[in-house]
Amino acid sequence: MRYKGARIFFKNFPKGLVFGAGFFIAVIACFYTYIYFVSDSTVSITNPLSNIDWHESSVENRIKTSSVILLVEFVKDSNSDLVPIVDEFLKKDKDVTFYYQKGDIYLPLSKTFYEHAHEGKKILLLFVGANAQNMSSMSVFNDTVGGLGDIPISKIRQMVSN
């Protein structure tokens, strides 16, 4: 008798595993369906200005809402390699967390900036929020920022000081 019970157990055990695995997959599928199609609660943790369309806002509004405005310049290091160095803070709010100082190497630039880099090339970066999230990075040519409608750097300095 005992031997027969073991045979029944091993005959039905794989069927139970398959049923359990199928049930588990169905529960997970229902959960993801609920999250992506039914749930209407959304959380924005990446954009501190989620109620403002950053790229559609005016230049003045971008300058005003930026917590850090930074100029980075490509300079040659001792190996004659071009490296982006923090050149100037045009704006830095007092309660903002930002880990770079003037003279630091600023590596988190897109590949495009490195591909078109030359000695003296400058990049303007706009950050928002208390944790300084980079919202825009734009090339500077002849002390004007093309990504902001060819606004001169001196005008940005003036806007920040007001």
Residue 45: its pLDDT value, please? Answer: 41
Residue 88: its pLDDT value, please? Answer: 94
In the structure encoding, which two tokens stand for residue 114, read together?
């490195």
Mean pLDDT of 61-68: 92
Backbone angles phi, psi at 83, to 5 degrees: -130, 140
Residue 3: its pLDDT value, please? Answer: 60
- Report helix, strand or coil for 136: strand
pTM for the full model?
0.64
> Distance between CA 19 and CA 26 in Å, rounded?
11
> Distance between CA 73 and CA 83 in Å, rounded?
8
Residue 2: its pLDDT value, please? Answer: 55
Instruction: Please say if the pLDDT value at position 111 is more than 90.
Output: no
Distances (CA, A) of 27 to 3, 4, 32, 118: 36, 35, 9, 56
Span 10-63, pLDDT tens digits: 677 777 777 777 777 877 776 666 666 664 444 434 445 555 677 788 899 899
Q: Which residues sit opposite 105 in a β-bridge? A: 85
Domain boundaries, the chain: 1-41, 54-161
Residue 8: its pLDDT value, please? Answer: 65
Residue 41: its pLDDT value, please? Answer: 43
Residue 46: its pLDDT value, please? Answer: 47
Mean pLDDT of 82-89: 92
Q: Where does the pLDDT of residue 162 fall: very low under 50, low under 70, confident under 90, or very high at 90 and above?
A: confident
H helices present in 34-90, as ranges: 59-65
> Distance between CA 45 and CA 61 in Å, rounded?
21
